[in-house]
Amino acid sequence: MPSRPHAAWNSLPEATRRGLSRGSTGREHLAGLAAGLFAAGKVQALLARELLCAAWAEAPLSLDVAQLLGGPALRGLPALPEPPSRLVQALPAFWRVPAPTDTWWAEGDWERTRAGLLERLAAEPANMFWRAAAWSLAWQRADWELSARMVDPASWSRVLAPVRLQATAQHLLAQGEAAAALAALDELGECFPGGSPGLRAECLLRLGRRDEATTVLAQAVLAAPWRGSELLRCTDLVSGADQEVRLVPGSVAVLLYTWNKAAELDETLASLAASSLFEHAPGARLWVLDNGSTDATPDVLERWEKRFGELFS
Give residue 162's identity as a one-letter amino acid code.
Answer: P
pLDDT number for residue 30 = 92
Contact in structure between 171 and 183 (CB atoms under 8 Å): no
Q: What is the pLDDT along the chain (313 residues), one digit of tens a residue?
A: 444 555 667 777 888 888 988 899 999 999 989 888 876 665 677 888 889 899 999 999 988 888 888 777 677 777 777 778 888 888 889 999 999 999 888 887 888 999 999 999 999 999 999 999 999 999 988 899 999 999 999 889 999 999 999 999 999 999 999 999 999 999 988 788 778 999 999 999 999 999 999 999 999 999 888 899 999 999 999 999 998 877 767 788 899 999 888 888 998 999 888 888 888 788 888 899 998 888 889 999 999 998 888 888 8
Q: Classify 76 as helix, strand or coil.
A: coil
Beta bridge partners of 289: 257
Determine the number of helices (DSSP H) and then strands (DSSP E) in the chain: 17, 2
User: 177 by DSSP, 3-state: which?
Assistant: coil
Q: Tell me, what's the pLDDT at 177?
A: 96
> Hey, how many other C-beta atoms are within 10 angstroms of the C-beta on 201?
24
Per the DSSP assignment, residues forming a β-bridge with 258 are 290
pLDDT at 169: 96
Q: What are phi and psi of 209, to 5 degrees?
A: -100, 65
- Residue 98: DSSP 8-state: P
- DSSP codes, 108-149: T-HHHHHHHHHHHHHH-TT-HHHHHHHHHHHHHTT-HHHHHH
Confidence (pTM): 0.80
Task: Please report the pLDDT score of residue 1 as a whole number.
Answer: 41
For residues 191 and 173, give the distance between their C-alpha atoms in angstroms, rounded to a whole number: 19
| Residue count (the chain) | 313
Cα-Cα-Cα-Cα dihedral sign, residues 200, 203, 204, 205: positive
Backbone φ and ψ for 257, nearest 5 degrees, come out as: -125, 135
Residue 42: the pLDDT is 59
Q: Answer whether 307's CB lies under 8 Å from 270's CB.
A: no
Is the Cβ–Cβ distance between 312 and 286 less than 8 Å?
Answer: yes
